[in-house]
């Protein structure tokens, strides 16, 4: 499926993921391992967002909808019917594909900012449903997810979680690599760059757009299900929040839209900043917990100004400059 050519020039990714894989062997510190798990999870979720938002150019600000669907599927199946979170994960992915088709259909009618607004509304509707439907979702109280030891019940220690998160991250990364080297990936790029031209050249633009949003939704739901199990609590106001949707988009934008490694670089930077800022300021005064949001904003301004193609774009440009210098 992925040819050898597609893997050329992927050394930075191999290095990054390799370092994550080796980390638990060297480090035992719980806080550090927790940070690594979160970096991988948010990176994978931004990578999932990148499939629709980056490669296909369908910028969604409502991907928390799919994250929430995944989280609730795993939590509800686990608590109500004592089913394995793996089944919840699969169910969440299926429901999200259906929801993704709805959103994909919307994307055929609404373009650009209007589509983004529709996605926000979509996540908000799910938030209202989840927080009001007390009988089924326990409303705004949220759902505590019980810890049951074992791999089938996803009750594993932090090192286990690191490898689960790494597995998700690698899956998403390989899907992205596939999109950079396959027929469907090139056709998606055509849809992103100019829909009319793509359509005129024989590309079924509507179907491809729905496909990209559904694939992105399914992977986001898988991430949501794993996250719910890792954190152990599903709060509707968090899992369906616009903050979360923006986080997915922001990591990808800062790291580099439509680049395979970009979302992971973005997550590495943002998640590290966030956890360290929170750790630093939370102790000082309760009012400082939001400081990381200010840093977020400043960072975004800096990136848009100095590295409009994101971190990976910056690296690529530097590489080009070096090689041209070498020639000179």
Among candidate residues 317, 326, 110, 85, the one with its CA nearest the CA of residue 223? 85
Complex with another protein: residue 34 or 180, whichever CB lies closer: 180
Complex with another protein: residue 194 or 243, whichever CB lies closer: 194
CB of 185 to another protein, least distance (A): 9
CB of 5 to another protein, least distance (A): 8
Complex with another protein: residue 182 or 275, whichever CB lies closer: 182
Exposure pattern of 52-67 as b/e (b: 16+ CB <10 Å)? Answer: bbbbbbbbbbbbbbbb
Binding site for another protein (CB under 8 A): 3, 181-183, 186-187, 189-190, 193-194, 196-206
CB of 190 to another protein, least distance (A): 5
Burial of 269 (0-12, 13-18, 19+ CB in 10 A): middle
Complex with another protein: residue 60 or 187, whichever CB lies closer: 187
CB of 285 to another protein, least distance (A): 46
Complex with another protein: residue 3 or 144, whichever CB lies closer: 3
CB of 27 to another protein, least distance (A): 40
Complex with another protein: residue 96 or 205, whichever CB lies closer: 205
| CB atoms inside a 10 Å sphere around CB 113 | 10
CB of 301 to another protein, least distance (A): 23
* Cα four-point dihedral sign 119, 120, 121, 122: positive
- Calculate the alpha carbon distances from 291 to 156, 237, 251 in Å: 33, 20, 18
**Residue 144 DSSP one-character state:** E
Q: What does the alpha-carbon distance between residue 255 and residue 232 come to, in Å, rounded to a whole number?
A: 29
| CB atoms inside a 10 Å sphere around CB 253 | 25
């Amino acid at each position: 499926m992925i040819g050898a050519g597609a893997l050329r020039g992927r050394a930075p990714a191999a290095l990054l993921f390799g370092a994550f894989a080796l980390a638990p062997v060297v480090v035992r510190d719980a806080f550090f391992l927790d940070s690594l798990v979160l970096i991988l999870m948010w990176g994978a979720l931004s990578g999932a967002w990148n499939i629709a938002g980056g490669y296909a150019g369908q910028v969604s600000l409502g991907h928390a909808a799919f994250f929430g669907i995944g989280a609730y599927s795993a939590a509800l199946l686990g608590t109500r019917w004592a089913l394995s979170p793996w089944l919840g994960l699969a169910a969440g992915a299926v429901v999200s594909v259906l929801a993704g088709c709805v959103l994909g259909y919307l994307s055929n009618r609404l373009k650009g900012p209007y589509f983004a607004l529709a996605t926000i509304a979509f996540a908000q509707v799910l938030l209202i449903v989840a927080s009001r439907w007390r009988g089924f979702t326990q409303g705004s109280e949220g759902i505590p997810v019980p810890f049951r030891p074992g791999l089938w019940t996803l009750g594993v220690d932090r090192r286990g979680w690191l490898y689960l998160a790494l597995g998700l991250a690698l899956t998403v990364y390989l899907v992205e690599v596939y999109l950079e080297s396959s027929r469907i990936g090139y056709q998606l790029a055509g849809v992103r760059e100019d829909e009319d031209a793509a359509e005129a050249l024989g590309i079924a633009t509507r179907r491809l757009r729905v496909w990209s949003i559904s694939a992105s939704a399914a992977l986001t739901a898988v991430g949501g299900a794993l996250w719910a199990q890792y954190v152990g609590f599903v709060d509707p106001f968090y899992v369906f929040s616009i903050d979360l949707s923006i986080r997915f988009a922001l990591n990808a934008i800062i790291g580099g839209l439509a680049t395979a490694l970009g979302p992971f670089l973005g997550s590495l930077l943002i998640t590290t900043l966030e956890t360290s800022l929170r750790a630093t300021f939370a102790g000082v005064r309760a009012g400082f917990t939001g400081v990381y949001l200010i840093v977020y904003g400043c960072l975004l301004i800096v990136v848009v100004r100095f590295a409009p193609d994101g971190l990976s774009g910056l690296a690529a440009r530097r590489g080009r400059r070096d090689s041209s210098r070498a020639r000179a």
